[in-house]
Structure 1
């Protein structure tokens, strides 16, 4: 089943094929989890959202329309909507930006610096409005084309491009402010 197309897997899942479902999960779990974790900033919450996403796929596989969206786009759309629901439900509660392990002092300095930058970027992403964060994560981190990301977010390509431009500008400002704060501490 490894060489089976996503479209064929969805047909089989619609018929209750557990093996096809397992193959689809194996194929899409890591990229989907990466997307959700970047959206939420917390690995434990991401696990729950990804699990709910795949449960919806299992329960609603017959609703997927091959002519409307690729399977990966549909999966990201479901996950995106669940992330929005999660943010609405827990708005105002403190959410861990990341569950970062302590940086190992024996790691090369370049690697430690890359880890620190990744943590800063993740924290900055969490400060963006949800729509801008989604657009940037789908295109930059998930490697979706603008068209695919626009479909996942149910917006036009021009609206996606606008979100990306505004999000990048805001990220730049946030990261510049963080850099200025760090330099001010020395």
Structure 2
């Protein structure tokens, strides 16, 4: 038997069924956490943002208007806003730190080193993009969301998402162009 949809679970939570929160968190927390991690480049900070996004969902549950927005889209938007707030605060207090690389799988040492260099290069390049371009690229190409859902999450038109994504990819290409060989990418 499949779990109820997001709106049913949220309505149940709002009506006092605390157990309805767990399936919603299991369903959405991994992707919300991934978006926050990519936006912020810091695992601990991404966890804080993800928890805050879910807390905000629980707080608005009684006022949720079914059919107005998807829970996932709402969570992406809240997560993006929380990340943007933190990034702005960082600019005023400290420089961006190098991203923490997630644990590597079991390949050999040289493969792990090259993968780590590639991840670091991509995260460094992403960090250099303007926030809206970064978010559009992450949601489209890393989270693989469709443009209409990204548009709702970002509060922009689908055309704006397409433009932000295209400009972000072009800028990433320019940033990484001189590092192709060093990162092990060879034209065949």
The bucket for the TM-score relative to the shorter chain is 0.7 to 0.9
Indicate the residue corresponding to 2:63 in structure 1: 63
The size of the alignment, in residue pairs, is: 183
- C-alpha contact (below 8 Å) 1:73/1:149 kept by paired residues: yes
CA distance in 1, matches of 2:71, 2:48: 20
Q: Deviations over 1:8-67 (max 9, x none)?
A: 111112223221111111111111100000011111110110111011011111333332
Q: TM-score, normalised by structure 1?
A: 0.88
CA distance in 2, matches of 1:140, 1:66: 28
CA distance in 2, matches of 1:3, 1:91: 42
Indicate the residue corresponding to 1:166 in structure 2: 167
- C-alpha contact (below 8 Å) 1:124/1:171 kept by paired residues: yes
Indicate the residue corresponding to 2:119 in structure 1: 118
Structure 2: which 5+ residue stretches go unaligned? Answer: none
Match runs of 1:1-186 below 5 Å: 3-92=3-92, 93-100=94-101, 107-179=108-180
Structure 1: which 5+ residue stretches go unaligned? Answer: none
Structure 1 residue 68: Cα displacement: 2.4
